């Protein structure tokens, strides 16, 4: 926790808004997508999706993967509590929804479905997009699947398996957005990053969640930023965006959203 507080202060000192951004690509992304606060119809459906989960007080038995939880002490958890603590905020969900549209994404991969708030955020009103999402815990995956069905999000393919088993089955699929939100450990994050490299094209974006969550994740983020195939990175504190666009000068941005 101490690490997170220190990291946040450092982020506040280093971060800027669009005014210090001289790259046209990043400037447009920040002003037209990150900072676009025009209300969208999809946001209403996304709120309904999250509210339905927050109203679900069933208990499920959760199998923990990766770095585990700082909030939950038991494996018996209420769906509503999972939605509140593990699921992304509506603000972040809205940003994911905009990003799919802004990048004209048609193929998305998410590692870490949980109860599907992030997945639904990318899927709602984006019917032409094919989303593959991977969740290791069977009972959590079942809750997500039921909610996708009740919102008719049938363009989501949910793989109930570990990331380790699922990644090799993706063979030669190419994705426009890859959202990595599970198993926040250095070695695993870097392993996924390296495995995912072959599933990208020049304009693909990788999004890593919780890049400042621990000293380990901080170290993983530093290594990713230095990778020779990475051109632009954007640190927004919770998420790290990684671009591979060959036409960009290598540059690391720190942006408040
Ligand atoms: C933080 S939650 C995902 C939140 C979700 N992406 C969202 O936006 O609402 C992380 C999920 O990843 C799953 N997970 C973590 N490590 C995993 C692994 N190695 N294989 C499969 N699932 C894993 C956990 O079970 C958990 O449900």
181 touches 211 (CB < 8 A): no
Q: What is the pLDDT of residues 160-189, one digit of tens each?
A: 999 999 999 999 999 999 999 999 999 999
Q: What is the pLDDT of residues 185-238, one digit of tens each?
A: 999 999 999 999 999 999 999 999 999 999 999 999 999 999 999 999 999 999
> How high is the mean pLDDT of the chain?
95
Q: In this model, does residue 85 exceed pLDDT 70?
A: yes
Q: Where do the domains of the chain lie, and which CATH numbers do they carry?
A: 2-47+87-254 (3.40.50.150)
Check pocket membership of 114 for ligand 1, CB cut-off 6 A: yes
159 touches 119 (CB < 8 A): no
Q: What is the pLDDT of residues 38-47, one digit of tens each?
A: 999 999 999 9
**What is the pLDDT averaged over residues 56-83?**
83
- Taking residue 138's Cβ as centre, other Cβ atoms within 10 Å add up to 13
Longest dimension (CA), the chain: 50
**Distance between CA 36 and CA 213 in Å, rounded?**
27
Q: In this model, does residue 70 exceed pLDDT 70?
A: no
**Distance between CA 254 and CA 257 in Å, rounded?**
10
The protein residue with its alpha carbon nearest to ligand 1, atom 12, reads 112
Alpha-helical segments (H) within 90-235: 90-102, 117-123, 138-150, 163-169, 186-196, 215-226
Q: In this model, does residue 74 exceed pLDDT 90?
A: no
Q: What percent of the chain has pLDDT over 90?
A: 91
Residue 20 CA, ligand 1 centroid: distance in Å: 34
Out of 135, 147, 167, mutate this one to test ligand 1's pocket (max ligand atoms within 8 Å of CB): namely 135
Residue 22 CA, ligand 1 centroid: distance in Å: 35
155 touches 123 (CB < 8 A): yes
Which residues, 6+ apart, have CB-to-CB distance to 158 below 8 Å? 113, 116, 119, 133, 134, 135, 141, 144, 145, 148
Residue 211 CA, ligand 1 centroid: distance in Å: 15
Per-residue confidence (pLDDT) for residue 149, from 0 to 100 = 97
Per-residue confidence (pLDDT) for residue 161, from 0 to 100 = 97
Per-residue confidence (pLDDT) for residue 20, from 0 to 100 = 85
- Taking residue 157's Cβ as centre, other Cβ atoms within 10 Å add up to 12
Q: What is the pLDDT of residues 109-157, one digit of tens each?
A: 999 999 999 999 999 999 999 999 999 999 999 999 999 999 999 999 9
β-strand pairing of 205-209 with 239-243: antiparallel
Q: In this model, does residue 69 exceed pLDDT 80?
A: no
**Distance between CA 204 and CA 173 in Å, rounded?**
12
Residue 250: pLDDT band with limits 50, 70, 90 = very high
137 touches 112 (CB < 8 A): no
């Amino acid at each position: 926790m101490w690490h997170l507080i220190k990291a946040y202060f450092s982020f506040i000192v280093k971060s800027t808004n669009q005014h210090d951004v001289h790259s046209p690509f990043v400037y447009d992304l920040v002003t037209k997508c990150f900072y676009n606060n025009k209300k969208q119809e999809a946001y209403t459906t996304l709120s309904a999706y999250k509210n339905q989960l927050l109203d679900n007080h069933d208990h499920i038995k959760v199998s923990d993967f990766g770095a585990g939880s700082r909030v939950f002490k038991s494996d018996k958890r209420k769906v509503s509590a999972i939605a509140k603590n593990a699921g992304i905020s509506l603000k972040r969900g809205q940003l994911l929804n905009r990003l799919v549209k802004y990048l004209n994404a048609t193929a998305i991969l998410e590692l870490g479905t949980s109860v599907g708030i992030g997945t639904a955020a990318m899927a709602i009103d984006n019917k032409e997009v094919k989303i593959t999402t991977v969740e290791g815990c069977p009972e959590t995956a079942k809750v997500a699947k039921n909610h996708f069905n009740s919102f008719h999000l049938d363009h989501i393919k949910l793989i109930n398996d570990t990331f380790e088993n699922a990644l090799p089955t993706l063979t030669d699929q190419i994705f426009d957005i890859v959202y990595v939100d599970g198993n926040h450990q250095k070695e695993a994050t870097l392993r996924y990053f390296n495995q995912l490299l072959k599933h990208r094209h020049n304009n693909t974006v990788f999004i890593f969640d919780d890049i400042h969550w621990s000293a380990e994740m901080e170290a993983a983020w530093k290594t990713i930023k230095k990778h020779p195939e990475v051109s632009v990175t954007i640190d927004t504190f919770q998420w790290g965006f990684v671009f591979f666009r060959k036409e960009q000068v290598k540059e690391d941005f720190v942006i408040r959203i």
